Amino acid sequence: MAGQQAQRSIHVGGEWLDAVSGATREILDPADAKPFAVVAEGDERDADAAVAAARRAFDEGTWARTPVAERAALLRRVADLLVRDREALGRLESRDAGKTLEEGRVDIDCVADAFRYFADLVVGEGGGRVVDAGSEDIHSVVVHEPVGVCALITPWNYPLLQASWKIAPALAAGNTFVVKPSEITPLTTVALVELLVEAGLPDGVANIVTGPGHSVGARLAGHPDVDLVSFTGGLVSGTKVAQAAAVGVKKVALELGGKNPNVVFADACATEEGFDTAVDQALNAAFIHSGQVCSAGARLIIEESVRERFVAELARRASRIRLGRGTEEGVECGPLVSEQQREKTEAYVASALAEGAVLRTGGRRPEPTAGRPATGYFYEPTVLDRCHREMRVVREEVFGPVLTVETFRTEDEAVALANDTEYGLAGAVWTADAGRARRVAGRLRHGTVWINDFHPYLPQAEWGGFGKSGVGRELGPSGLAEYRETKHVYQNLAPKPVRWFGG
Closest by Cα among 217, 152, 207, 159 to 184 = 159
Give the whole-angstrom CA distance, residue 369 versus residue 503: 92
Q: Is 148 helix (H, G, I), strand (E, B) or coil?
A: coil
Quick one: CA dihedral 274, 275, 276, 278, positive or negative? positive
**Residue 485 backbone phi and psi in degrees, to 5:** -105, 145
Give the whole-angstrom CA distance, residue 162 versus residue 153: 9
| DSSP string for residues in 350-382 | HHHHHTT-EEEE--SPPPPBTTB-TTS-----E
Name the catalytic one among 93, 150, 269, 294: 294
Greatest alpha-carbon span in the chain: 92
Give the whole-angstrom CA distance, residue 317 versus residue 333: 13
Tell me if residue 294 is catalytic. yes
**Residue 255 backbone phi and psi in degrees, to 5:** -120, 110
Closest by Cα among 392, 384, 396, 395 to 360 = 384
**Residue 470 backbone phi and psi in degrees, to 5:** 130, -170
8 Å CB contact between 426 and 398: no
Cα 255 to its chain centre, rounded Å, is 7
Strands 34-40 and 24-29: antiparallel
Name the catalytic one among 41, 103, 183, 255: 255
Q: Is 463 helix (H, G, I), strand (E, B) or coil?
A: strand
Tell me if residue 269 is catalytic. no
**Residue 481 backbone phi and psi in degrees, to 5:** -60, -30
Q: Hey, how many other C-beta atoms are within 10 angstroms of the C-beta on 490?
A: 11
8 Å CB contact between 157 and 336: no
Q: Return the active site residues.
A: 255, 294
